[in-house]
Structure 1
Amino acid sequence: MTQLSHPHRTRILPPSPITVSEKNRRQEKQNALAMRCRVVFERLRPQLIDTHYNCYIAIDPESENYFIDPTLKGITQKIRDAYGNPDRVKLTIFRLNDTGTCGRLWV
């Protein structure tokens, strides 16, 4: 049996410099954003579900503006076209179906 001359590494990246309290603060902020977007989504869904069933909808809770596209790639491109790649714009993406579930993305 050959012995390795270096110790076995289990991580590719160093440990995260973010503290547990900072992670919790960020998670709470994300959850608050999702809840604000969900309120707008629930108000819009009855109007849009028949004509855009199973399409993606990205909602900005501040302005209540939204984008609709049948593909995830299309919706993300519409977001980039409208907002660029800023650090502060936060949207939540839903699916126009019975549950609205497609996961959450912060763009």
Structure 2
Amino acid sequence: MTSLPQKRQPRRGRIFPKYTIPPEELARRRAKRIELGKRCRVIFERLRPELIEQYYNWFIAIEPDSGDYLIDPKLEGVIQKGQERYVNTDVKLTIFRLNETGTCGTI
């Protein structure tokens, strides 16, 4: 009688374990993102009443340091405008939608 081959156990773990991001760094990045979102939300709440009538459901990208914003009816359009305007810079933008809640999608 022939013996059946052993079933191989899948290897579990990271491919490059030395590139694992420490939890402290992940927490720092998350806090930075939340802080950026809060700063942009303040500007969005200030702009929304004057823009919602004419641009309802359009996308708006806000740069929190200068208060500049980009607006377009499509998400791809606002992303493209951001890339053209802030080429070769390390600017972080937050994208909202000009509606009652400011959210860009459904949950």
Question: 1:41-69 CA deviation, whole Å, 9 max, x = no partner?
Answer: 00000000010000000000101000000
Distance in 2 separating the partners of 1:101 and 1:13: 36
Pick from 66, 70, 77 the counterpart of residue 80 of structure 2.
77
Pick from 40, 55, 80 the counterpart of residue 58 of structure 2.
55
Distance in 1 separating the partners of 2:6 and 2:73: 55
What TM-score, normalized to structure 1? 0.83
Distance in 2 separating the partners of 1:12 and 1:50: 50
What TM-score, normalized to structure 2? 0.83
Greater than 6 Å deviation, 4+ residue runs: none
SS in structure 2 at match of 1:94: strand
Deviation at 1:102, TM superposition (A): 1.5
Greater Rg, structure 1 or structure 2? 2
Distance in 1 separating the partners of 2:10 and 2:55: 52
Which structure 2 segments of 5+ residues have no match?
none
What does 1:1-107 align with in structure 2 at a 5 Å threshold?
3-4=6-7, 7-10=9-12, 13-15=15-17, 16-84=19-87, 86=89, 88-102=90-104
Which structure 1 segments of 5+ residues have no match?
none
Percent identity of the aligned residues? 51
